[in-house]
Structure formats: structure tokens, C-alpha cells
Amino acid sequence: MNLGVLENHPIVAVVVIDDADWAMALAEALCAGGIRCAEVTLRTSAALDAVASMRQIADFSVGVGTVLTANDVDRAADVGAEFVVSPGWDDRVVDRAREKGLTVLPGVATASEVMCAMRAGLDVVKFFPADALGGLPTIHSLAGPFPGVGFVPSGGVSNENCAEYLAHPNVPAVSGSWMAPRGLIASGDFPEIQRLSARAVTAAGAL
């Protein structure tokens, strides 16, 4: 599987940040807890500035999520994002990301969308929303006809199920916000984010 910059990052923190001034402290808290990869979602006006700040942390991979258009890809590339994540499949997003040399993780929910990804030369996709789509049993079913595809579940992933997901040979990584919820970021409670990150890393290696 070609994970690109997501290689060696079994947990991707999904971040919704309202104030870019918190970005460096957030990245440092995640790192201290053992998580060295974050997807900053384009759900706030602070997202791109936060990515630019996080890029200054050594050995920390940061990308942009909730990428919906080719223009979003351009904006992500302009601030130094290493990868982009989309909630669904869009040819224009995938094509532009590849033009920009970015790892792209498009969302899929069906076998047809997996086939679109394969036709585009991708072998790792985001499985979203994982919990609502049936979780691990659905991934297991999709892995039957698509044994060479990696699925990164997002949506409903937690300490309770992340190890089980990661134990599946077709799940190279999981993503979620449970270790860095928006409220804790907004309140500046980075010691708690560090603690939750460490718990997530421990839980991920439990099986």
C-alpha cells in the first residue's frame, strides 16, 4: 500500500481548531502523547494558518481535511500541507492533489467508489463514516474483492475499537478526534490532550 507521508502514522488526529495561535501548542501536545500526524479540517477560518504553524514542528506530518474542491487543494498546498483528505470521492480533488504532489486520501463508502480510487491509481482510501457504514465487518467485506486496498476508518473510531481496526491487515491507520476534541483545543487544555493522546497510542497497541 502506498501511504505516502502517512507511513508509520497509525493514528491520525482529526483537528477542528478555532484559533491558529493554539496550533503549535496542540502539535506539541499530540507529539508528547505519541501522535505525530494531524489532519486539520477546513471547518474554521483558522485552519490554514494552523497548518502553516504546525509545519514548523520537526517530524510532525500535517495535512488538510474536509477538502471539497480543487481550490481547497491549492490552498492546502500553499500553506505546506503534506496530504489532503476528502470526505467523499471527487475526481477533480484527486487529480489536483496529484498535480501538486500531495498524498490524497479520498473518502469512500461503497465498492463503486473503491473501484474509482483504483482506476485513479490509489490503493489507500478513507472509509467514512466508518461507524455508520458498519465498521470493521464492512471493511472486511470490502477487503474480499479489494485485497490490495487499505482502508483508513474515520467516524466512530475510539480507544475502545482502534486496536481491533488496526489489527485488520487492510487497515494501515485510523483517524479521529477523540484525543483532541474541539472543546479541549478551544480551552487550551493541552495537558489533557497529551494525556488522551498517550491513552490512544496505548489503546491502539493493545491487541
Please identify every residue annotated as catalytic. Answer: 39, 126
**Residue 188 grid cell:** 487550551
**∠103-16-185 over CA atoms, to 5°?**
125
| SS3 of the chain | CCCHHHCCCCEEEEECCCCHHHHHHHHHHHHHCCCCEEEEECCCCCHHHHHHHHCCCCCCEEEEECCCCHHHHHHHHHCCCCEEECCCCCHHHHHHHHHCCCEEECEECCHHHHHHHHHCCCCEEEECCCCCCCHHHHHHHHHCCCCCCEEEEECCCCCCCHHHHHHCCCCCCEEECCCCCHHHHHHCCHHHHHHHHHHHHHHHCCC
Amino acid making up residue 25: A
Q: Are 163 and 203 in contact (CB under 8 A)?
A: yes
